[in-house]
Amino acid sequence: MEHTPESELEPRLHRLLCNDLSEDERREILRVIACNADAQQTLREMIDVQERARQAMGYPPEGEEMKTSLRKVLAHLQGLAQETPLSAPAERRTKHFGRMMYWAWRVTVGLAVAASLTLAVGLYRSQETLRQDLRRLTDTPPVAHLSAGELAEYGRILKEISDEPSRRPWMVIQNGTGRFEYLPRTTGQESGETLVLRCILLSENVPAPTTIVLVLPRDLSGRLAVGEVGKVGGLPVLADVSVRDGRVGLELSVGAGSELQGGVTGEVRIGTEPTEIGRFRANGEDQRVIVQAVSLRKGMV
């Protein structure tokens, strides 16, 4: 029977679909899905097939009957845990509570049961919730396009800082500060076009995104090791850039050496919408990397 490479991921996607993953496992697989269009397509197909097939066979949506019987099982478990710890099954001691102690114990058990029931029943996630997760993962969050004014401003800055007309500068800007350097001298034909590459690092718990702008010649040959382009959570962000066939390849990493926290590699087509190229985790925060690349003709700089 056919067994495709695609199906290697499917057991994990299936467990995600059936809510059979721990929170850490769930976060990990969602991260994989976020960066993998094939996985997104497969998961959509799996959700569609499961929903329709269950509907066809008469499986009801998760109903109150199941939740009620689950609550009774959890209450049974809580009661047992309070009375007879499994670790000492042969030594079931009789408890001699005073009246006060007895009621205090009952109240404590009641509170524990209520809390754990809320927690456990809350574990259920409907497929609609999973669809929302998928949408959240696959849709690039709304990010403003680079405006004509911003592009003109970056072009003007690059022109002003370049004091050697025979050499080609590039620059990186974060939070209003930047640095510039020159590319190595080449003998090839130069188009004179400039590329503005903006990376936005978004984190759910950090209200202000980190924005890094790279301005460099579009006809860059080979890879440009930009080095440190800014900081996230106090850690250095390092970048490598390449430009080829109308696409910009970008490799970002956070931290360095033994403190390397994570990174992302992806590419975007020049002149398209801001696009999420991936996400990574640094300092306990998920960072989404959204990139837009725009080319400026010679006369605009």
Binding stretches for other proteins (CB under 8 A): 1-4, 6-8, 10-11, 14-15, 18-20, 22, 45-46, 48-50, 52-60, 62-63, 65-66, 68-70, 72-74, 76-78, 80-81, 86-87, 89, 116-117, 119-121, 123-124
Shortest distance, position 124 Cβ to other proteins, whole Å: 7
Token pair belonging to 41: 């397509």
Rounded CA gap, 52 and 57, in Å?
A: 9
Residue 146 is classified by DSSP as P
If residue 155 lies in a helix (H) or strand (E), which one and from where to where? helix 148-161
Q: Between helices 23-34 and 10-17, what is the axis angle to 10°?
A: 120
Least Å from the CB of residue 40 to other proteins: 15
Q: Retrieve residue 146's tokens.
A: 């680079």
Closer CB to other proteins, 13 or 237, in the complex: 13
Q: Is the dihedral of CA 138, 142, 147, 151 positive or negative?
A: negative
Who's near 67: CB < 8 A, 6+ residues apart? 121, 124
For residue 180, CA distances in Å to 177, 203, 217, 228, 247 come to 10, 28, 13, 12, 23
> Looking at beta carbons only, is 115 or 161 nearer to other proteins?
115
Whichever of 61 and 227 has its CB closer to other proteins, that residue is: 61
Q: How far is the CB of 83 from other proteins (least distance, A)?
A: 12
Give the separation between CA 19 and CA 78, rounded to whole angstroms. Answer: 22
Q: Which residue's CB is nearer to other proteins, number 68 or number 129? A: 68
Report, in Å, the least distance between residue 19 CB and other proteins. 6
CB of 251 to other proteins, least distance (A): 33
For residue 196, the cross-strand partners are 215, 294
Q: How far is the CB of 58 from other proteins (least distance, A)?
A: 3
Q: How far is the C-alpha of 285 from the C-alpha of 275, rounded, in Å?
A: 20
Select 60 or 184, whichever has its Cβ closest to other proteins.
60
Q: Considering the complex, state which of residue 52 and residue 136 has its C-beta at the smaller distance from other proteins.
A: 52
